[in-house]
Amino acid sequence: MRILLVEDDPDLARELADALERRGMAVDRARDVEEGEAFLRAGAHDAVLLDLGLPDGDGLALLRGLRARGVTRPVLLLTARGAVEARIAGLNAGADDYLVKPFDTDELHARILAVLRRQGGYIGETLGCGALTFDIAARRARIGETVLTLSARETELLELLLRRQGSVVPKRLAEDHLFGVGGDLGSNAIEVYVHRLRKRLGDAGGGVRIETVRGVGYMIAPDRTGAPA
């Protein structure tokens, strides 16, 4: 996977590239808008990490230009501003996600993967969470060596949760995803599927759990006891 990092601070760029490379990503470094544009014209990057404050212009301008040219490549903003307006402006300009400095490299890594998965721009063969792996092409989940037997909707739900790993999947989104937009079901239809999926995961040996954030939605996470901190 190839990442373009547009960041003017040389220390941060070096450390960040180093951290991402240790996680198996190839990183190209651009110091300003001009260099960034040059790299982007050459193409071949799966995602762009864009700093907002650059010496020769605003990162947002570069992003807008990119989107205006119809380039849909995932872009994550790295911002030191953090004010809500700045974040919203970034998302409005066409960013896929944003991270406020300083950030956790694991979280950055996860967000890059999540954005790629959501976009369909980068789909690995498998999605994983703790001991659970999910083969996207075969639509088959397994925990360790145990293959889970799941219904079509259970599989859909699991894939959705895995693709958005690390964030809460709103209940409404899950409902739309499983039953189609506007499908009128009982309000607890999704709970039934979550309940069943939990049971299947538990039966297969656990190591992964579906957390409920009451009033919001669901989230898949590795079991705290089974996973490293």
According to CB under 8 A, which residues from 115 to 134 bind other proteins?
Answer: none
Of the candidate residues 176, 202, 211, 226, the single one contacting other proteins (CB under 8 A)? 211
146 or 167, CB closer to other proteins? 167
CA 44 to chain CA mean position, Å:
20
Residue 173 lies near other proteins (rule: CB under 8 A): no
Residue 198 lies near other proteins (rule: CB under 8 A): no
Residues 78, 69: contact at Cβ < 8 Å? no
91, 94, 98, 101 alpha-carbon torsion, rounded to 10°: -100
Residue 167 lies near other proteins (rule: CB under 8 A): yes
Residue 16 lies near other proteins (rule: CB under 8 A): yes
84 or 137, CB closer to other proteins? 84
Residue 40 CA to residue 33 CA, distance in Å, equals: 10
Residue 223 lies near other proteins (rule: CB under 8 A): no
Long-range contacts of 83-90 (CB under 8 A, 24+ apart): 86/52, 89/60, 90/52, 90/60, 90/63
Residue 59 lies near other proteins (rule: CB under 8 A): no
191 or 211, CB closer to other proteins? 211
Token pair for 49:
């990490």
Q: Residue 125: helix, strand or coil by DSSP?
A: coil
CA 85 to chain CA mean position, Å:
22
Residue 219 lies near other proteins (rule: CB under 8 A): yes
45 or 164, CB closer to other proteins? 164
* Interacting residues toward other proteins by CB under 8 A: 9, 11-12, 15-16, 18-19, 80-85, 100-105, 166-168, 170, 211, 213-217, 219, 221, 224
